[in-house]
Amino acid sequence: MSENENNKSSNKMWGGRFGSGPDAIMEEINASIGFDKKLYAQDIEGSMAHAQMLADNGIISAEDRDKITHGLNTISSEIESGQFEFSRALEDIHMNIEARLRELIGPTAGRLHTARSRNDQVALDFRLWVKAELGKTAKLLEQLISAFVKRAEEHADTVMPGFTHLQTAQPVTFGHHCLAYVEMFYRDLSRVLDCIDRLDECPLGAAALAGTGFPIDRHQTAKALGFREPTRNSLDSVSDRDFAMEYLSLATICATHLSRLAEEIVIWSTPQFNFVKLSDSFSTGSSIMPQKKNPDAAELVRAKTGRINGAMVGLLTVMKGLPLAYSKDMQEDKEQVFDAANSLELALAAMAGMVADMHVNKDAMQKAAGSGFSTATDLADWLVREAGLPFRDAHHATGAAVALAEKQNIELHEIKLSELQEINSAITEDIYSVLTVQASVASRKSFGGTAPDNVREQIKYWKSKSWLSN
């Protein structure tokens, strides 16, 4: 199609008020087909549902509906096979499809736009797309959670150091650590499901902003398109992008969780920690240092957070201060959502793969679990429980024991009983029963604690989830 023909088609879409096509700069800033062609399937699906409803309510004939449906199916096949020619002069996916439909079936194509506007059309397309992406995100989160539950089951007894301030604090089990991420990513999953519930309303039929005088059935199109019900206010219907902002909001939280996990994997895989070893599938080498095995997949997951956070800020800024109802600013609502969805889904898939096949070095974890006087709190607790000391006095006595161990360059359980009794005479030989890593971990039986039996109970809880048992 020549440029003049493009301009003529564009003018026809705009109507008789405009005598000439847009100049180059206006076309450049106005066109969105470069990115919104991603919505072609949703646009065609919405148009088919709309055509069916128009026919069922006597607004167009059944013959026109059949021509429109056949033409839309043809366009769908052309796009999917790569034969469809997208035109920048036609601005967006809606007008590209409508122009091609007119080429295929003639003036009947113009009946399709009865009782709708590009405003409710794009709101529908984008909402359908985000709803589908939320479904994909939910499945990926379920896979990641499942991978963590499996690793937790394998390592319910594997001890490792627990950290605060990245300093050894108290020993925990690796299974317990895995379940911490299960909790985290399950919250992400619940936000995804909440978002689906809130966006499950169909804006089609709101038209430009005020609804329509045609006797349409919005409940019919909502049901046909898989929505719970139609939206209830035409102004809000075409101007609402909360569903996109909410998607980006939950994406930023999930990406933050993924980044925290990625950071731990980067740290754990260093020779200094040696807690885990990533497979070759999720590592790369160095161009100059042949010994290197870099956790690039984890590092890239960590970096994706920046893109997703940026998308959130970008859309919030676009929507800030827009008066009701639709403004052209809202054309800038999609690219960052498309990019964030791609980044999040890639990061989730990569992380599920890393968690599933990384090798856990139990010996290195156990050795590190006892370092840094990690059972000091157990000594203080014993003094409270068995010797009746106030906790603050027990804390002071334990601090003295740690100072002694540091001076002698030994662990707490290696201090002689006589030396411990010089610190506090109430200490007996029974103290040694709580100073081992295994005893410390086993004693943490409070609900939500790290004791292996607790971990196994929590694993049962998570495995009872229907989607984890599949």
Catalytic residue numbers read 165, 286
Among the listed residues 199, 200, 205, 195, the one whose alpha carbon sits nearest the alpha carbon of residue 46: 205
The CA distance from 295 to 275, in Å, is 13
Are the CB atoms for 365 and 158 separated by under 8 Å? yes
In the numeric block, which tokens belong to residue 205? 């039929």
- Residue 139 CA to its chain's centroid (Å): 10
Cβ–Cβ contacts within 10 Å for residue 69, how many?
18
Show contacts of 91-94: CB within 8 Å, 24+ apart.
91/10, 91/30, 91/31, 91/32, 91/33, 92/31, 92/32, 92/33, 92/36, 92/118, 92/122, 93/32, 93/33, 93/36, 93/37, 93/39, 93/40, 93/43, 93/125, 94/43, 94/118, 94/121, 94/122, 94/125
Which pair of tokens denotes residue 426?
A: 């109430």
Whole-Å CA distances, 155 to 355, 358, 363, 392:
13, 13, 12, 35
Strand partners, 449: none
